[in-house]
Structure 1
Amino acid sequence: MSAKSTVDAKIAQGKRTVVFSKSYCPYCRRAKQLLKDANEDFDVYELDEFDEGADWQNALAEKTGQRTVPSIWIGGQFIGGCSDLEAHQRSGKLKQLLA
């Protein structure tokens, strides 16, 4: 299975919220904490912890135009990165997305 089809499957078949992350990234840690604080149960894939991680990151970049992590998906919809998630939280939209 290609990296693109694997990423697509993880987004479609996982929990409602999926985070593609790197374990050492402070923005990724912040985004995961925001979701935990919102009591959201989510799948997380630490791209630096497995051999295909770079391929997955390339597939995500092709899909979203965003090369950086975290790459956050809620209900199959690309939300963006940490600052996008924080903006949704500040505006109250995050609660709506997670409802």
Structure 2
Amino acid sequence: MAGAKQKAQQIIDDNKVVVFSKSYCPYCRASKSLLDEKNAKYFLMELDQVSDGAALQDALEEITGQRSVPNIFIDKKHIGGNSDLQAKKGELDGLLQQAGAV
């Protein structure tokens, strides 16, 4: 678990915007679609397509208290899931610019 937690934290620290996702998840698709609309540059980790995805999901739950995907970070800050991202639509341009992700 320590390795997965370290890896998840490293990904969050190394990228301006991170989406931990699952390729088949409709909420993840909605989040990626919104970020694409905003021309955001983001790091995407499809947890169902990497060998340590389950361990990373466990680690993210430990870090954020959130088990579900998408699990989104902007500028190292935990945003939450798709409904949280959609709720921030109005301020998203500012958040992405501040993070240097557009």
Shorter-chain TM range is: over 0.9
Partner of residue 32, structure 1:
32
% identical equivalent positions: 49
How far is the alpha carbon of 1:76 from its aligned partner?
0.3
Correspondence for 1:70:
70
Measure how far apart 1:88 and its partner are.
0.2
CA distance in 1, matches of 2:64, 2:38: 25
Aligned residue for 1:58?
A: 58
1:5 aligns with 6
Extract structure 1 runs of 4+ deviating beyond 2 A: none
User: RCO (CA 8 Å, sep 6+): is it higher in 1 or 2?
Assistant: 2
Normalising by the residue count of structure 2, what TM-score does the alignment of the two structures yield? 0.91
- CA–CA distance in 2 between the matches of 1:60 and 1:93? 24
Structure 2, gaps ≥5 residues long: 98-102
**Distance in structure 1 (CA, Å) of the matches to 2:35 and 2:5:** 25
> How many residues align structurally?
96
